[in-house]
Amino acid sequence: MANLKEIRNRITSIGSTMQITSAMKMVSAAKLKKAQDAITKMRPYANKLTELLQSLSATLEDDIENVYAEQRIVSKVLIVAITSNRGLCGGFNSAVIKGSIKHIEDNYSDKQVDILSIGKKGYDILSKNFNVIEKHNEIFDDLTFNNVAVIAESIMDLFAKGKYDKIELVYNRFKNAATQILTYEQFLPIELIEGVEVEGKMNVSIDYIFEPNKAEIVLQLIPKSLKTQLYKALRDSYASEHGARMTAMHKATDNATELRDELKLSYNKARQAAITNEILEIVGGAEALNN
């Protein structure tokens, strides 16, 4: 009977785990819907703004200073690794962490590389092997454009002052609840849209009418576009996190259900065997008395 008691305890424990994973799945599903709507609505605007900025920056005259498009010899690199503050979301965090390490080893093994961590899980691992200059774990508590803009301004200032020659974002881009795409995205310097070179200048086919003038528009557009780019990456990561957690908790609930059913079957078999043994003992005792 001790064996039966052990199986009953395991069934009860797995039942409690199922309640937790099922609740977490429902919470993540509710948060995913809101996060998915936000990134779906924002992505076309952010992509068009970035495309517009790249196109305009490529046509700027040489006398117009654009420090954020300045191409330098790369010797110092900053990787902005975007993870989450919590686990239980499958391979969401490990994909960014392992991807960042591999990206650095493959492309910047001979460069000075620092990390700016957004998300506690990334900081906990990457800080063991790399110099983490900043961490922003609190941003997911209130993920708004204004809060992200403060981080973006700090990153832009590091590039403008020449502390880094190249800055890249590493994050999970949201595709759907079950799929997150690990993305490496150049943040600074601004990648210019290549056109046709005419007399030493890039000839971009898109022709815009500028009011009041091109320089003023671009210089105001650059900071806004970069802040939007970082905000989009964080929104993508946030939606991906809840999609990954919902999927992970769904699988965990299914696995727990399967294990519980197997234990119930084992319990019923053991209970049936115990009852059969008791019946055999009674019958054997009765036969002994008759004899």
> What does pTM read for this prediction?
0.84
Residues 219-242: pLDDT tens digits?
Answer: 788 888 899 999 999 999 999 999
Q: Would you say residue 84 has pLDDT above 90?
A: yes
Note the pLDDT of residue 276: 87
Give 46's strand partners: none
* Torsion on CA atoms 51, 54, 59, 65, rounded to nearest 10: 140
For 22-247, CATH gives 3.40.1380.10
Residue 53: C-alpha distances to residues 123, 193, 207, 244 (Å): 32, 9, 13, 32
Q: Dump pLDDT digits (tens) for 170-213.
A: 999 999 988 999 999 999 998 766 543 434 444 445 666 777 77
Look at 6-15, 51-60, 140-149, 243-252 and tell me which has the smallest mean pLDDT: 51-60
Whether residue 284 is predicted with pLDDT greater than 90 in this model: the reply is: no
Residues in CB range of 12: below 8 A, 6 or more apart: none
Split at pLDDT 50, 70, 90, the class of 65 is low
What integer best gives the mean pLDDT of the chain?
87
pLDDT of residue 197: 44
Active-site position among 89, 115, 193, 226: 89
Q: What is the mean pLDDT of residues 90-108?
A: 95
> Which two structure tokens, joined as six digits, stand for 257?
């259900």
Per-residue model confidence (pLDDT) at position 19: 92
Among 90, 59, 48, residue whose Cα is nearest residue 232: 48
pLDDT of residue 97: 96
Q: Which of 215, 224, 229, 225 is nearest to 59 (CA)?
A: 215
Is 155 one of the catalytic residues? no
Terminal CA-CA length for the chain: 31
> 110-145, pLDDT tens digit by residue?
999 999 999 999 999 999 999 999 999 999 999 999
